[in-house]
A and B are shown apart, each in its own frame.
Chain A
Amino acid sequence: MGHLSKEEGIKAVNRGLGLLAVITLVEVLVSLFGKGHLGIEPDWSFNVNLGLYEGPLAPLLIIVGLLLIGLSLYKAYYIVYKFMHMADEVKGLRMSVLLPMLLFVWAIIAFFQEGNSWKERRDQILEKNKIETNTVVIVEDAAEEVELHQDENH
């Protein structure tokens, strides 16, 4: 690891802080723009029943979302590589820490798809829950009947 002089060190920290601060500020502004603040009246509105935004410029919101995720990933890269000095570690260490993270690519796709599926099949799930609840009631009734019979036997 290169040992910096005091001046070099301060310069590197200030550059990092400035970069992260500017990215965070841009993120907040992009987010507020997407939510319709900043004095710009958006042409999109949220349709709760469809679960998505409607309007001619609504696809812009996908770009807003992707931009926010991209900027956050860049911040994460900067913190790990510059502040935590991952760039100075050997390749084996870098890969052994970073490659396991790729598992989340699968996890995020799979679980978010699953969540979305719950939403789309909400009515079916409620219907199924109702049937299962009824079944439980019948079982309870049967148990009571058995108890009644036992009482009679006594």
Chain B
Amino acid sequence: MATDTVKEHDGQSEGGAWDGGQAPMKASYGKLMMWYFLLSDAFTFTGFLIAYGTLRFSSPTWPVPDFVFKTFPFVDASKEMPLIFVTVMSFVLIISSGTMVRAVQEGHRENQKGVVFWMLMTILGGATFLGCQAWEWSNLIGTEHMTVTRNPFGTHTHNGAYLADDGTVNSDDTFEMGASYLIHTAEHAAHGHGGDHGDDHGAHGDSHDEHQDAGHDSHTDTHDDHHGDAHAVAVSSDAYAEGDHGGYVVKDGFVLRKYKIQEEDGSYSDDTYTEAFGPKAFGALFFAITGFHGFHVFSGVLFLFIIMINAASGQYAARKNGYEMVEKIGLYWHFVDLVWVFVFLAFYLL
């Protein structure tokens, strides 16, 4: 035993790899562990994205991103701006990555003021991204009524035409297979906000007093000769009440429009169908994955803030390894940008 110990000790004193003085792979402990943490985090995110891809592959229809993500803050929802807002979000994150590189560079130059300034810019970029995501989420949840268990974005599986309010086929109001639609709530339809719901519902709603309560004073188009004259349109309190109506079914507060399938020869099917909700998994996957990424951005902003305060207080200037802490949070921040590249690809581009 004793000789073994001596042998081992001799080996170390000759400058062996286990001696302690050397950094394995020529990287400091902190940076090495940050790399391996990011590797494990990459596995988590890739697992999520593979689950997304698997469920998307398993579903006959899937919401088309250029239809789902076509709104922009402060722009009327009827104006289509597909993918524009999320492109802005991507640019914000890319620019914040650039400012982070600048902060690390200033750290190498031991320029305390530069480090603090560029970290502040990075924090502002991260906070802007979070603000954009908050708006995107609140629009999806509040205006378009998507939740983790409900996906109002559906896809037509046939060519067809919607029924008018009197229950007959409206051959002017047609749609094609593969086209997307958004199911509105009865409250929205009654107020005439139905962007995708056809102009027949939207147009007359605008001529009425929008301030009235939806449940009590819903308006309906009666197809009378005085259409457009607010005084002549009959006010029906049960226009969007639960149940079966001429052109739509109201179920659980949602308006499911009726349609007939158009056959190859142009005739319409005898059976009447109603629009259905899209694949449920979309809402759960979207909120889980973009939420998990958003949480990474949020915690990244917090850590950036702490390290910026430390840098500003001169803590790192006194340390032997200089501004390595800035490098480590920089690795984390670039990784958040890296993940967004693939979230952007999976949810918005493809």
Which of A's residues lie within 8 Å of B, judged by CB? 1, 3-4, 6, 9-10, 12-14, 16-17, 20-21, 24-25, 27-28, 30-32, 35, 37, 45-49, 51, 65, 68-69, 72, 75-76, 79-80, 83-84, 89-90, 92-93, 96-97, 100-101, 104, 107-108, 111-112, 114-116, 118-119, 122
A131 CB → nearest B CB, Å: 20
Contact between chains at A79 and B58 (CB < 8 Å):
no
| Given known A45-B177, A92-B25, A115-B56, contact A21–B91 (CB-CB < 8 A) | yes
| A-B contacts at CB below 8 angstroms, number | 157
CA distance A115 to B59 in the complex (A): 8
Q: Among A24, A28, A83, A101, which residue has the most Cβ atoms of chain B within 10 A?
A: A83
Contact pattern, B 140-167, Cβ under 8 Å of A = 1, otherwise 0: 0000000000000001111000000000
B30 at the A interface (CB under 8 A): no
Q: Which residues of A contact B83 (CB under 8 A)?
A: 28, 31-32
Complex partner residue of B32 from A31, A93, A108, CB under 8 angstroms: A93
Q: Count contacts on B: residues with CB < 8 A to the other chain.
A: 61
| Given known A24-B90, A48-B61, A79-B334, contact A115–B102 (CB-CB < 8 A) | no
Complex partner residue of A84 from B25, B157, B331, CB under 8 angstroms: B331
Closest chain A residue to B178 by CB distance? A46
| Given known A3-B109, A72-B342, A111-B53, contact A119–B59 (CB-CB < 8 A) | yes
CA distance A72 to B349 in the complex (A): 10
CA distance A104 to B48 in the complex (A): 12
Q: Which residues of B contact A3 (CB under 8 A)?
A: 108-109
Closest chain A residue to B39 by CB distance? A97
CA distance A68 to B342 in the complex (A): 10
Q: Among A75, A84, A107, which residue has the most Cβ atoms of chain B within 10 A?
A: A84
Contact between chains at A37 and B82 (CB < 8 Å):
yes
Q: Which residues of B contact A27 (CB under 8 A)?
A: 344-345, 349
| Given known A24-B90, A89-B25, contact A72–B345 (CB-CB < 8 A) | yes
Which of B7-15, B92-100, B187-195 interfaces with chain A?
B92-100
Closest chain B residue to A121 by CB distance? B58
A53 CB → nearest B CB, Å: 8
| Given known A31-B350, A49-B157, A100-B39, contact A75–B341 (CB-CB < 8 A) | yes
| Given known A13-B101, A31-B349, contact A112–B177 (CB-CB < 8 A) | no
Complex partner residue of B27 from A20, A48, A89, CB under 8 angstroms: A89
| Given known A31-B83, A48-B61, contact A13–B53 (CB-CB < 8 A) | no
Contact between chains at B82 and A32 (CB < 8 Å):
yes
B54 at the A interface (CB under 8 A): yes
CA distance A78 to B345 in the complex (A): 16
Complex partner residue of A16 from B98, B155, B156, CB under 8 angstroms: B98
B295 at the A interface (CB under 8 A): no
CA distance A114 to B50 in the complex (A): 11
B303 CB → nearest A CB, Å: 16
Closest chain B residue to A3 by CB distance? B108
Q: Which residues of A contact B98 (CB under 8 A)?
A: 13-14, 16-17
Q: Which residues of B contact A20 (CB under 8 A)?
A: 94, 97
Closest chain A residue to B27 by CB distance? A93
Complex partner residue of B178 from A45, A84, A90, A116, CB under 8 angstroms: A45
Q: Which residues of A contact B25 (CB under 8 A)?
A: 89-90, 92-93, 96
Contact between chains at A112 and B349 (CB < 8 Å):
no
7 pairs, CB–CB < 8 Å, chain A vs chain B = A27-B349, A35-B82, A48-B177, A69-B350, A72-B345, A92-B25, A100-B39
Contact between chains at A112 and B94 (CB < 8 Å):
no
B60 CB → nearest A CB, Å: 6
CA distance A21 to B155 in the complex (A): 32
Closest chain A residue to B349 by CB distance? A31
Q: Which residues of A contact B157 (CB under 8 A)?
A: 48-49
Q: Which residues of B contact A31 (CB under 8 A)?
A: 65-66, 83, 348-350
B107 CB → nearest A CB, Å: 10
